[in-house]
Structure 1
Amino acid sequence: MAEPITLTAPNNTSYSQPTGLFINNEFVAAKSGETIETVNPFDESLIAKVAAAGSEDVDVAVAAARAAFKNPAWRGLSAADRGALLYKLSELCERDKHILATIDAWDNGKPYQVALDEDLAETAAVFKYYGGWADKIYGQIIETSDAKLAYTRHEPIAEQTPLSVLYLGTLIKEAGFPPGVVNIINGYGRTAGAALAEHLGVDKIAFTGSTTTGKAIMRAASVNLKNITLETGGKSPLIVFDDADLDQAVKWSYVGIMGGMGQVCTSTSRIYVQDTIYDKFLDRFKEYTVENTTSGSQFDEKTTHGPQISKTQQEKILGYVESAKSEGGRLLLGGKPGAEKGYFVEPTIFADTKNHMKAVREEIFGPFVVIQSFSSDEDAIEKANDTEYGLGAAVFSRDIVRAHKAAAAIEAGMVWVNSSQDSHFGIPFGGYKQSGIGRELGQYALSAYTQVKAVHAATCSGAHASPYRSGIISRNSSLDRGSILQAGDHVSPSKRPGAKA
């Protein structure tokens, strides 16, 4: 057993923090005894140490999940009752939302109020949403012939911030989920992540992270052809046409890249503005950014801009500043840490960029935006699509026909019209190209977590029907040469179906 510790956050919230791996509804230490340090990115102080799983721990967790899957306590539970468990978990998240928001803000630097009003509200809503779907996953009855019934069934198949999901483990147990149904193992990608991806006992992997890691997971998961959903990198474009509401475009452009300090996979980090309004947009966007950004502690009510998640990420972002300067970008704002302590990066705006620049082509994952002009609708679409990524995009125009035409032409899994990052858990989430495979959220996500089985049930009277008439063997098949071979039959060349004597 791994005993929880009592922590008091900077906002004076005290709570019991689990530190072990959540396996079989219990928190246990890693078999290796190794731990992960989690740090407050605002002042670089240590918050806690939690267990770091290794391959042995992954084996134990997978075995627990397999056992739970076969256990009547879960396998025999009705879909409605499973949905009720998700409803209960949603209620517990709502009850403890202040604790969960505190943990998230403390652990990753996001302003507390944003974590509370946006992230936790959506987390509870998502559990409730899928709780409602639990007993509404239907198959189909498919007509084939009078002698046969056919139907389909749908059957189930970041190490820097582990604290909130570990706390969620306590709520999962309290909600009444049977042991082993949900297991939470913290660990590094090179050990725990690799062990999960390669494990023969794992049937499904859903991953959110870098494209490089996503490709590695695909290679590892091929060992048993796992079902995978990948939400990987993004370099989402935002297009401002000359007929756009400029104030709205400026506001949403700010939200699209500075929200979450740019640490959002769908951040609209490339902005393309029509040349006739380019200078006006630059002036207003810079002014709006300055007026609406207040850096500070994630627990200060005035803070809109917190620190990056880690020192490594801070240094990576600042490295792109020098790269953009050297390649000819014009720095309009920011480009500095902005604080002597903590992992801060000022909102950074580069103008007059070109698509060949490193800062334009690579995902930066920070409050860093590159802006350039375009001359025509076709030019805008060509520049927007000139990327290996295809996660999100945004289009601003008062002409709804123009906006929808652009939305259809952009190669991205999600397109916002006259907004950015304005998502909803009932709408599918995912990308094109190297931004991932499959979809999360909404009804579409259900297909990623189930597999389709076709059942052919012949009636007694049709049990001896010809395989031709029942559609079992096509008359275009290689066997349609006058006879049907049975296993073990020997056929001489002269008697091979269709052979000439």
Structure 2
Amino acid sequence: MTVLVRPQALENFKVREFQMLIDGKWTDGAEGGVIERRSPGHGVAVSRYQAGTKADAERAITAARRAFDDGHWSRMTGAERSNIILKAADLIAARSGELAYLDCIESGKPISQAKAELGGAVDIWRYAAALGRDLHGESYNTLGDTTLGVVLREAIGVVSIITPWNFPFLIVSQKLPFALAAGCTTVVKPSELTSGSTLVLGEILLEAGVPAGVVNIVTGTGAEVGAPMTVHPDVDMVSFTGSTLVGKLTMANAAQTLKKVSLELGGKNPQIVFPDANLDDFIDAAVFGAYFNAGECCNAGSRLIVHRDIADEVVKRVAALAGEVRVGDPLDPQTKVGAIISPEHLAKISTYVSNAATAGAHVSHGGETLDLGMGQFLSPTILSAVQPDMAVAREEVFGPVLSVLTFETLDDAVSIANSIDYGLSAGVWSRDFDTCLTVGRRVRAGTIWMNTFMDGASELPFGGYKQSGLGRELGRHAVEDYTETKTLNMHMGRRKVVWSRS
């Protein structure tokens, strides 16, 4: 049985009104439209954003282009940019409660989780500031007495940053501070479902001293705002996080002008469990990996690939622990699983569950929508007897649904793990570290956790293989992703060989 936390009505709540940030000024959209966001956990309007259009995106791109070309940001010293980014980090920390609250009520994620994400975001901003001071090229004095080669790293230019609704502040923090540290200027489009915290970030960056036009924030839909940001000739790079389908469209749009593209897309991430694993640790990680952020997470551990000898025990124990997870009011500090982002998405998740049951999977726990008086919720769900060819085992459900598959040999487990289009992350559980390393080296994914799951650090690169994306975020090379390399080939003295006279 699921532990329910019924949402409390938002008493005397005042809807927050937002404008867009273009060229250092807060402004309404060109056509005056408004997007109203209703809280998925409480069913009431909580925010209103400007409904941006192509004209607004183009205004923002023009401002970013001008700000880059005038050099007020790109030609600062690394130390000067770093100091401003560090000040922004301090201001984010000071307003973290406000930012977490916005993410909570707009996305439906639990408030305790949102606060933890803000702590992680502050660390990323500080890490990016440090990398900005360490950005450097190379020199070659081995090319002969008359030649010196120098390779520079220069900011790539104007970057379009497009972020999703599931981690509104955390994901913009995995992109924007690194672009700023490199010296780029930016146009940011947050999801039209969860724009609030990104707009507050705009206030913070202006207060920190980021010059006008360096960061522009345009709200609106992907069709109206996002698409122009991916095709405009004055944009040099696109950094996108979202679904694989929209990632493919973004890549196709960017190809029209051969922009650099960084894509962090979908995942269908396995946890492979061997009979000698510490099952106490694993069971907790399985429940966390499946139901963190209500499963609306590209890194969700949505597939358990379990050795046949322990499959029944694992399903029983995971179901028992899932039954203790508190589901409901995102504003309750004890809640672990909050609301589903929209009624349409809830219906999509429920369809995956019903289709899997029709195909022969067994609903071992949950599977039902929950009527808590307001908002939209789904109980943590476990599907056992799942076969590798089922849609629920191959496609990204993006909800609190865990599929359990079985294997007999290590080769079987690796084959099942690698049999899908995604390759974002994976976990392996065994007391034999040879087993862990063998699986870790053979599974095609960007991150492999060994005897843990969904741990992270600003220092560790993040990104995927195959249709999980292109490029990496975080890590010491993250700033370099927002640069171009330029070779300076310098000749000293007279050139000895003249081609026209040889």
Within the alignment, does 1:464 sit opposite 2:495 as a pair? yes
Q: Percent identity?
A: 33
Contact 2:273–2:428 under 8 Å retained in 1 = yes
Which aligned pairs between 1:119-198 and structure 2 lie closer than 5 A? 119-142=117-140, 143-157=142-156, 158-198=191-231
C-alpha distance in 2, partners of 1:369/1:260?
Answer: 13
Which residues of 2 match residues 31-430 of structure 1 at below 5 A? Answer: 31-116=30-115, 118-142=116-140, 143-157=142-156, 158-291=191-324, 293-340=325-372, 341-430=374-463
SS of aligned partner of 2:230: helix
Change (3 A) 1:13 1:43: closer
C-alpha distance in 2 between matches for 1:145 and 1:56: 54
Q: Which amino acid in 1 is paired with 2:226?
A: G
Counterpart residue identity of residue 25, structure 1? G
Whether the aligned pair in 1 keeps the contact of 2:67 and 2:213 (CA below 8 Å) is: yes
Q: Quick check: 2:365–2:380 contact (8 Å CA) kept in 1?
A: yes
Whether the 8 Å CA contact 1:261–1:366 is kept in 2: the answer is yes
Q: Provide structure 2 residue ranges, at least 5 long, that are not aligned to the other structure.
A: 1-7, 157-190
For the Cα contact (< 8 Å) 1:425–1:442, is it kept in 2? yes
SS of equivalent residue, structure 1 residue 141: strand
Number of equivalent positions: 459
Structure 1 residue 12, shift from structure 2 partner? 8.1
Point out the structure with max Rg over C-alpha.
1
Residue 43 (structure 1) shift: 2.1
Q: Offset at 1:147?
A: 0.2
1:54 is aligned with what amino acid? T
CA deviation after TM superposition for structure 1 residue 343, in Å: 1.6
Distance 1:11 1:44 in 2: 10
Q: Distance in 1 between matches of 2:295 and 2:97?
A: 24
Alignment CA distance shift 1:274-1:26 (3 Å): same
Structure 1: gaps spanning 5 or more residues? 1-8, 468-483, 487-496
- Is the 8 Å Cα contact of residues 153 and 484 (structure 2) preserved in structure 1? yes
Q: Alpha carbons of 1:129 and 1:378: their partners in 2 closer, same or farther (altered >3 Å)?
A: same
Asked whether the equivalents of residues 74 and 155 of structure 2 are also in contact (C-alpha less than 8 Å), the reply is no
Structure 1 residue ranges, 4+ long, deviating more than 2 angstroms after superposition: 9-18, 70-73
Q: What does residue 177 of structure 2 align with? A: none
* TM-score computed with the length of structure 1 as normaliser: 0.89
Shift, 1:224, TM fit: 1.3
2:15, 2:45 within 8 Å by CA — same for their partners in 1? Answer: no
Question: Aligned partner of 1:122: which letter?
Answer: G
**Which residue in 2 is equivalent to 1:5?**
none
Opposite residue 395 of structure 1, the aligned amino acid is: V
Residues of 2 paired with 1:18 and 1:68: CA distance? 27
Letter in 2 for 1:264: C
Q: Deviations over 1:78-107 (max 9, x none)?
A: 110100011000000100111011111011
SS at match of 2:206: helix
Contact 1:17–1:167 (Cα < 8 Å) also in 2: no
- Maintained 8 Å contact 2:460/2:475: yes
Q: Amino acid of the residue matched to residue 225 of structure 1?
A: L
Give the equivalent residue in structure 2 for 1:478.
none
Q: What CA RMSD, in Å, does the superposition of the two structures yield over aligned residues?
A: 1.9
- Work out the CA distance in 1 between the residues paired with 2:496 and 2:463: 46
- Match in the other structure for 2:482: 449
- The answer to whether the Cα contact below 8 Å between 1:18 and 1:27 also exists between their aligned partners in 2 is no
TM-score by length of structure 2 reads 0.89
Task: Report the Cα offset of residue 27 of structure 1.
Answer: 1.4
SS in 2 for 1:307: coil
- Give the whole-Å Cα distance in 2 for the aligned partners of 1:205 and 1:308: 28
1:414 deviates by 0.7
